Amino acid sequence: MARGINKVILIGNLGQDPEVRFTPSGAAVANLNIATSDSWTDRQSGERQERTEWHRVVLFNKTAEIAQQYLKKGAKVYIEGRLQTRKWQDQNGQDRYSTEIVANDMQMLDSRGGDFQGGQQGGHGGQPPQQNQQRSHQQSAPSSPPPQQGKAPDPNANYGAPDPGNFDDFDDEIPFN
């Protein structure tokens, strides 16, 4: 029997600017709140209905830094990753759970922001991001030397979470807005 698949693909808009923090080892962690909308026609009334769903997304390392530099509230973004549930304790010692999307690929879809794609097919438009944070080796992903100013990033570099698989045979055209 085939193993399970945990894959999430979102295209939506940021509800606020990315919230970025750095771990003690210097790794960037960005939290995004992304809104997606679903619309349909109500069968009884014939009226157009719309529902907005909010998604918590976490980006790591270079992808988080690029999100901090280029993404702003309202920006349209493509996210690919996996669902992950964290267990934590609140101020009263009660166990709480939070399910979020851990992104391993991000593309900026607004024309003014260029695009960035982490994972195995790295590359972005516009100017390369500035290198102003010192890095140590990351636990979650193999590290690679930072790209030099004026050069495109290494296409084999892993900027986000580990890539769960290659889906190059999918159409590039997304059939919805």
Total-model pTM: 0.60
pLDDT > 70? residue 104 = yes
Can you give the pLDDT at residue 161?
53
pLDDT > 60? residue 156 = no
Asked if residue 83 lies in contact with residue 56, where contact means CB atoms within 8 angstroms, the answer is no
Q: Within 13 A of 169's CA, how many CA atoms are on the CB side?
A: 1
Q: Within 13 A of 93's CA, how many CA atoms are on the CB side?
A: 0
What is the Cα–Cα distance from 54 to 44, expressed in whole angstroms? 27
Can you give the pLDDT at residue 3?
87
What is the Cα–Cα distance from 169 to 167, expressed in whole angstroms? 6
Among the CATH numbers 1.10.1070.20, 2.60.120.10, 2.40.50.140, 2.60.40.10, which is that of 1-41+48-159?
Answer: 2.40.50.140
For 149, the token pair is 């100013």
For 170, the token pair is 């999918």
**What are the structural domain ranges in the chain?**
1-41+48-159
Query: Between 104 and 134, whose confidence is greater?
Result: 104
pLDDT > 50? residue 115 = no
What is the Cα–Cα distance from 7 to 23, expressed in whole angstroms? 26
User: Which of helix, strand or coil describes residue 69?
Assistant: helix
pLDDT > 70? residue 142 = no
Residue 108 CA from chain centroid, whole number: 10
What is the Cα–Cα distance from 108 to 41, expressed in whole angstroms? 30
Can you give the pLDDT at residue 19?
95
Least confident window among 47-61, 86-100, 150-164: 150-164
Q: Mean pLDDT over all residues of the chain? A: 74
For 76, the token pair is 């349209």
Percent of the chain with pLDDT over 70: 62
What is the Cα–Cα distance from 171 to 53, expressed in whole angstroms? 25
